Amino acid sequence: MILDTHSHILPNVDDGATSVKESIKMLTMLKEQGVTDVIATPHFKMMDLSESIDDFLEKRNSAYKNLLDEINKQKLDLPKIHLGAEVLLTMDLVEAGGLDRLCIEGTNIILLEMPYYEWQSWMFRIIEDLCSAEGIEIIFAHVDRYVNLVPKQTYEKLFALNHAVQINADFVDNKKAIRVLKKWIKERKINYIGSDCHGIDFRPPQIDNFMAKIGKIAGKDFMSRIETHSSELLSKINKAK
């Protein structure tokens, strides 16, 4: 069982798949790479004032229905899709209310994307508010992608929060990310993997490359820990269905 916790497979929702046809090709690639379940996590950004949570969910759910209809029509055997969102951390996120609707279906867990500039103290305050006021649990998205922006001591603050953490499959080819995150890999702080796939050509699924290389980087028991966390998350999702 391999769970892809971070993907942009839904058609015409964000900068991911541009059509149902491309979505199906991406899912086919994921299946060939051993993925059994995938969480669809299109981008949600509060800074985009033209789109409310309601607008986002309507667009996301419509794209999911169109994709699922075509999968069923063709009787395709593809990874099971679960719905979620990749939520960008912004100053006004807590004020939005109703953030539970952006959680991974059946859970109180949000995939949270940190901003792409040096992390500041207000960000950590908002994270605390999300958890205390909204009762939300967090998976930090693709922490490997910030190594050129964030000092290692700031990573210390993030990991000290003891929330779940996800790395992207292409992490295994990022020497600096491997070096920076080595400490937390050893401390078993990495919980999930995601393809973060956006297309069949632009940022395609690379789970197979990850599986081939991660053991040498992180140790033989790394994937067994990932599978345990993934199984627990899937149990929460499926229990609610």
* pLDDT top residue among 130 and 26: 26
Give the CATH number for residue 169.
Answer: 3.20.20.140
Show Cβ contacts of residue 205 under 8 Å, excluding neighbours closer than 6 positions. Answer: 4, 7, 26, 29, 30, 33, 35, 169, 195, 197
pLDDT in tens, 7-37: 999 999 999 999 999 999 999 999 999 999 9
Structural domain span for residue 27 = 3-239
* pLDDT top residue among 86 and 241: 86
Which pLDDT score, from 0 to 100, does residue 49 have?
59
Is residue 206 within 8 A of residue 170, CB to CB? The reply is yes
The band of 50, judged by pLDDT with boundaries at 50, 70 and 90, is low
Structure tokens at 14: 């964000």
- Check the CA dihedral 207-85-191-151 and report its sign: positive
Q: To 5 degrees, how large is the angle CA 74–CA 41–CA 115?
A: 155
The domain total for the chain is 1
